[in-house]
């Protein structure tokens, strides 16, 4: 499908000027809770995806002190979840960070815990800082360290906390709350005991399902999400470094690997996918665009991304979003250090509904013209 070649041809598009007679007619239709399609057709059937989200960079050095301040202001018991959420200026009505994805920074002090609950939304965490964080998913407890990625899939009981001898922890939450609400499909329940029993050995999901390319014999799994709940930073980073020695990567993302469900090889959850990419020192990507909404966290390094003509300079722990169909290109500014970008997205939704579409920027050597420097 080539969108651009049809764009010039406006024959067949709605082009009806208002007359007093038509305006009166529209009024009568409105009273009957109806409308004339030609008054809205061009809006509801755009030539190409038109995101109401804007590209945003959330700088960690700006946010961190405010996130920590919430510890003095509210308890996890009172707040339920003590989280500062990322509020895209174009998506405030649905509390989304971009598109139909929610994200927030959750903070917890040693000895604190947030009670167990379950919801229709799928969730994930990416650990930013601290020591002693853990998540319990359906009785499976997992200790968490910086740059670990953990799933709390839709429908599972989950709770989080920090061990008493740990250090204050901050992690990024990612959920599909706006999508589930748009689908009017959200249920939410609090665990009757507020705490789960731990019913399996600590980290058993990693022990059983976390061996690269090995699958446990005689263990069935029929859930729609991955049986591996935690993806550790160490093996993830090693895999990216090894892959970089064996492959040139892609012109847009250098070496990018998707976290996968080991049973299917597919995305980790039905509605949210995630990846980690490594930009080698000095990598200068070219631009492309695709459908779907993407939230990045800088796991390592320093660089910038140009998103729809805006340059956003990022460093470790910064978060930025790429709205659907926005042109984007990534650059690692260091000539000696690599840079790694964690990303979560709605790719599983776009792909399973056959809505995923991608194209490269061919003009100007594949690079955008910078129209403005992005401000946080």
Query: Which residues of the shown chain bind ligand GTQ in the complex (CB under 6 A)?
Result: 81, 83, 104, 106, 119, 123, 158, 173, 175
In the complex with ligand GTQ, the residue whose CB is nearer, 57 or 107, is: 107
Report in angstroms how near the CB of residue 275 gets to ligand GTQ at its nearest: 21
- Plot region of 8 (φ>0 → left; ψ -120 to 50 → alpha; else → beta): alpha
SS3 assignment, position 302: strand
DSSP secondary structure letters along 246-265: H---BTTTBEEEE---TTTS
In the complex with ligand GTQ, the residue whose CB is nearer, 107 or 276, is: 107
Report in angstroms how near the CB of residue 158 gets to ligand GTQ at its nearest: 6
Q: How many CA atoms lie within 13 A of 78 on its CB side?
A: 6
In the complex with ligand GTQ, the residue whose CB is nearer, 51 or 152, is: 152
DSSP secondary structure letters along 5-44: HHHT--TTS------HHHHHHHHHHHHTT---GGGTHHHH
Rounded Cα distance, 143 and 308, in Å: 39
In the complex with ligand GTQ, the residue whose CB is nearer, 325 or 344, is: 344
Report in angstroms how near the CB of residue 120 gets to ligand GTQ at its nearest: 11
In the complex with ligand GTQ, the residue whose CB is nearer, 81 or 223, is: 81
Report in angstroms how near the CB of residue 177 gets to ligand GTQ at its nearest: 6
Angle at alpha carbon of residue 161, lines to 156 and 166, rounded to 5°:
145
Report in angstroms how near the CB of residue 159 gets to ligand GTQ at its nearest: 8
Which uninterrupted H or E stretch holds 301?
Answer: none
Rg (Cα) of the chain, in Å, rounded? Answer: 23
């Amino acid at each position: 499908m080539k969108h651009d070649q049809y764009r010039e041809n406006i024959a067949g598009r709605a082009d009806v000027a208002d007359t007093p007679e038509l305006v009166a007619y529209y009024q009568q239709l409105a009273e009957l809770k109806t409308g004339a399609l030609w008054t809205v057709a061009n809006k509801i059937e755009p030539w190409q995806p038109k995101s109401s989200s804007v590209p945003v960079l959330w700088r960690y050095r700006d946010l961190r002190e405010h996130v920590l301040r919430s510890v003095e202001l509210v308890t996890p018991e009172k707040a339920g979840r003590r989280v500062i959420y990322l509020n895209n200026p174009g998506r405030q009505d649905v509390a989304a960070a971009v598109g139909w994805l929610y994200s927030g920074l959750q903070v917890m002090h040693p000895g604190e815990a947030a009670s167990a609950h379950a919801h229709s939304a799928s969730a994930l965490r990416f650990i930013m800082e601290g020591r002693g964080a853990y998540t319990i998913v359906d009785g499976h407890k997992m200790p968490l360290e910086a740059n670990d990625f953990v799933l709390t899939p839709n429908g599972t009981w989950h709770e989080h906390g920090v061990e008493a001898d740990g250090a204050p922890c901050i992690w990024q939450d990612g959920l599909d709350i706006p999508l589930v609400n748009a689908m009017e499909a959200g249920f939410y329940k609090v665990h009757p005991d507020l705490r789960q029993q731990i019913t399996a050995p600590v980290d058993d999901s990693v022990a059983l399902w976390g061996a690269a390319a090995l699958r446990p014999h005689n263990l069935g799994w029929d859930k729609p999400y991955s049986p591996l709940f935690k993806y550790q930073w160490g093996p993830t980073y090693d895999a990216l470094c090894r892959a970089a020695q064996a492959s040139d990567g892609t012109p847009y993302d250098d070496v990018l690997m998707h976290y996968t469900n080991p049973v299917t090889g597919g995305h980790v959850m039905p509605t949210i996918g995630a990846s980690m990419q490594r930009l080698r020192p000095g990598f200068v990507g070219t631009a492309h665009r695709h459908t779907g909404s993407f939230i990045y966290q800088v796991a390592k390094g320093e660089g910038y991304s140009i998103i729809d003509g805006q340059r956003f300079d990022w460093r470790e722990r910064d978060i930025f979003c790429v709205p659907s169909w926005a042109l984007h290109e990534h650059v690692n500014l260091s000539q000696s250090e690599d840079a790694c970008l964690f990303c979560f997205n709605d790719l599983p939704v776009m792909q399973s509904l056959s809505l995923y579409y991608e194209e490269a920027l061919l003009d100007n050597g594949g690079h955008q013209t910078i129209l403005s420097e992005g401000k946080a």
